[in-house]
């Protein structure tokens, strides 16, 4: 039976990992182009949808993506990478086709649901596969590259797609996205058919194959709970880490346009500055974390990011703002590899898919709830409040992560 490890041969950046990174980059490119640039304007100007309908369309995607991550992780462990990822990218392909050909807001909402369901396998498959190949001593490095692919796709999608939108004509932009999804489908066909025979063999040895599906799922999750050695504190911390980021998502543009009065070019330069710094530092930071340990870089990352956010709305000069944006980018370049290496070290190797799916669901809740809280805080307490709240959450994370022990061999307790 072909496994991911056999397919991968050797090394962190084997053909298998490269295939996963290509899928990650292109799918996030398509998703970013749709959700940030195309859909809000397309629904409003071309289809005449209300703001309420637009909100539900975007929310449907995020909810569908997050809710399905845990069951998708379980399916990866049992059905393998190719089956699950191919199902997801085909679903995403269909959603883009529906958006391109159907001229009804209701159908667009349905397409967004399919987009969420289709992208749900993306993170569990990529992170599970990449960490499986990387092994115990390469988690931070390979996860840094995964996040580089994600940030590059999310950042480039909304920018590049603007060159393919001509007034109210969206045909060229949708053709580009359909071409991208064709490449993704072909790449998904190259993935290994099976992840590993080991979980299935162990289940059969225990008599699990004779049990009904529901009983087998319960048995599997009991094994997952027994095999995890993780502090209960990790679960609220996983939520808080993405909650702090989610708080910023809906109000960054609002703050730039309404408070700072930045032009579109100036705002783009701010986003590029922060994102580029993060991307540039991610890979070297991942290698350093793998070689020297997790804790110092968690402390440095949370400290830099918290300081930048707490000060962000209290400085007025453009130079100071660029410095703080750079500091925030550096902070997240420290946080991403060290934090994900911390999480990865708590995951039993034979249950990677299910546990990563579960952990990603917890983190996804932060990205759903954060924007909701952020908008309300902005309305009630003013523009300072969301930034201060996000910074304070990072300060709490800085303190609480001290109570999670990180032994040298990586198991988190």
Residue 411: per-residue pLDDT? 45
- Residue 162 neighbours by CB under 8 Å, 6+ apart: 37
Task: Write the DSSP string, 213-255.
Answer: HHHHHHHHHHHHHHH----TTHHHHHHHHHHHHHHHTTTHHHI
How many alpha carbons lie under 13 Å from residue 26 in its C-beta half-sphere? 22
For residue 219, what pLDDT is reported? 63
Position with higher pLDDT, 216 vs 17: 17
Lowest mean pLDDT across 40-49, 67-76, 202-211: 202-211
The rounded distance, in Å, linking the Cα atoms of 385 and 109 is 32
Q: Which of 41, 184, 191 is nearest to 118 (CA)?
A: 184
Among the listed ranges 9-18, 157-166, 277-286, which one has the minimum average pLDDT value?
Answer: 9-18
Would you state the structure tokens that stand for residue 50, as one six-digit string? 């209300």
pLDDT in tens, 212-225: 656 666 665 665 56
pLDDT of residue 256: 80
The residue-averaged pLDDT of 35-48 equals 77
pLDDT score of 309? 94
More confidently predicted of 167 and 320: 320
Task: Confirm if 151 and 278 have CB atoms less than 8 A apart.
Answer: yes
* Lowest-confidence region among 110-124, 292-306, 349-363: 349-363
Per-residue pLDDT of 156-201, as tens digits, reads 888 788 788 877 788 899 999 999 999 999 999 998 875 544 444 4
* Residue 12: pLDDT band with limits 50, 70, 90: low
At residue 143, the pLDDT reads: 84
pLDDT confidence tier of residue 47, bands split at 50, 70 and 90: confident
How confident is the model at residue 264, as a pLDDT? Answer: 64
Backbone phi, then psi, for 251, in 5-degree steps?
-110, -5
pLDDT of residue 106: 81
Res 397 pLDDT > 90: yes
In the chain, the domains with their CATH numbers are: 4-196 (1.20.1250.20), 229-403 (1.20.1250.20)
With a CB cutoff of 8 Å and minimum separation 6, the contacts of 395 are 302, 306
pLDDT digits (tens, 9 = 90+) for 254-280: 788 788 887 767 777 777 778 888 888
Q: What average pLDDT does the structure give for the chain?
A: 81
- The proportion of the chain whose per-residue pLDDT surpasses 90, expressed as a percent, equals 26
Separation CA 363–CA 239 (nearest Å): 5
Of 18-32, 233-247, 268-282, 392-406, the poorest mean pLDDT is in 268-282
Interatomic CA distance for residues 165 and 133, integer angstroms: 40
pLDDT classification of 227: cutoffs 50, 70, 90:
low
> Is residue 319 scored above 50 in pLDDT?
yes
Is the pLDDT at 122 greater than 70? The verdict is yes
User: In the predicted model, is pLDDT for residue 64 greater than 50?
Assistant: yes
Average pLDDT over residues 348-374: 77
DSSP state, 1? -
d(CA 219, CA 142): 31
Q: What is the mean pLDDT of residues 106-117?
A: 88
Lowest mean pLDDT among 44-48, 326-330, 394-398: 44-48
> H/E element holding 122?
helix 122-134
- 208 pLDDT exceeds 60? no
Question: Collapsing DSSP states into helix, strand and coil, what is residue 14?
Answer: coil
Judge whether 52 and 109 are in contact, CB under 8 Å: no
Highest-confidence segment of 51-65, 149-163, 210-224, 341-355 = 149-163
**Residue 215: what pLDDT?**
67
Amino acid 4: pLDDT: 47
Q: Are 337 and 289 in contact (CB under 8 A)?
A: yes
pLDDT of residue 189: 93
What are the residues whose beta carbons fall under 8 Å from the beta carbon of 354, sequence distance 6 or more? 70, 73, 74, 76, 77, 220, 221, 224
- 409 pLDDT exceeds 50? no
Instruction: Find out whether 132 and 213 touch, Cβ atoms under 8 Å.
Output: no
């Amino acid at each position: 039976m072909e496994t991911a490890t056999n397919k991968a041969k050797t090394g962190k950046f084997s053909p298998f990992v490269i295939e996963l990174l290509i899928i990650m980059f292109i799918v996030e490119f398509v998703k970013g182009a749709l959700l940030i640039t195309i859909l809000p304007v397309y629904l409003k100007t071309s289809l005449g949808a209300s703001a309420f309908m637009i909100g539900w369309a975007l929310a449907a995607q995020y909810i569908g993506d997050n809710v399905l991550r845990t069951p998708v992780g379980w399916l990866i462990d049992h059905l393998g990478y190719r089956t699950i990822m191919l199902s997801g990218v085909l679903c995403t392909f269909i959603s883009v086709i529906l958006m391109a050909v159907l001229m009804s807001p209701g159908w667009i909402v349905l397409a967004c649901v399919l987009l969420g369901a289709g992208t749900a396998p993306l993170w569990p498959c990529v992170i599970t596969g990449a960490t499986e190949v990387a092994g115990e001593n390469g988690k931070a490095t390979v996860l840094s590259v995964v996040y580089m692919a994600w940030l590059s796709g999310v950042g480039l999608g909304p920018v590049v797609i603007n060159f393919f939108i001509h007034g109210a004509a969206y045909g060229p932009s949708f053709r580009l996205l359909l071409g991208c999804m064709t490449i993704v489908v072909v790449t998904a066909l190259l993935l290994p058919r099976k992840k590993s025979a080991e979980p299935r063999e162990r289940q059969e040895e225990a008599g699990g194959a004779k049990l009904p599906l529901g009983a087998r799922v319960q048995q599997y999750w009991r094994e997952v709970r027994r095999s995890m050695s993780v502090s209960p504190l990790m679960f609220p911390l996983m939520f808080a880490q993405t909650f702090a980021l989610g708080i910023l998502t809906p109000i960054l543009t609002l703050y730039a346009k309404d408070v700072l009065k930045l032009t579109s070019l100036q705002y783009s330069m701010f986003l590029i500055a922060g994102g580029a710094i993060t991307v540039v530092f991610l890979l070297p930071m991942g290698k350093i974390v793998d070689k020297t340990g997790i804790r110092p870089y968690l402390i440095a990352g949370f400290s830099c990011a918290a300081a930048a956010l707490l000060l962000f709305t209290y400085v007025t000069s453009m130079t100071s703002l660029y410095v703080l944006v750079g500091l925030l980018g550096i902070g997240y370049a420290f946080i991403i590899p060290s934090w994900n290496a911390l999480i990865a070290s708590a995951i039993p190797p034979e249950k990677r898919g299910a546990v990563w799916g579960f952990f990603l669901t917890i983190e996804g809740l932060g990205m759903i709830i954060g924007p909701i809280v952020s908008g309300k805080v902005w309305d009630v307490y003013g523009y300072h409040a969301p930034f201060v709240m996000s910074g304070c959450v990072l300060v709490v994370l800085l303190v609480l992560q001290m109570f999670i022990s990180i032994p040298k061999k990586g198991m988190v307790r």
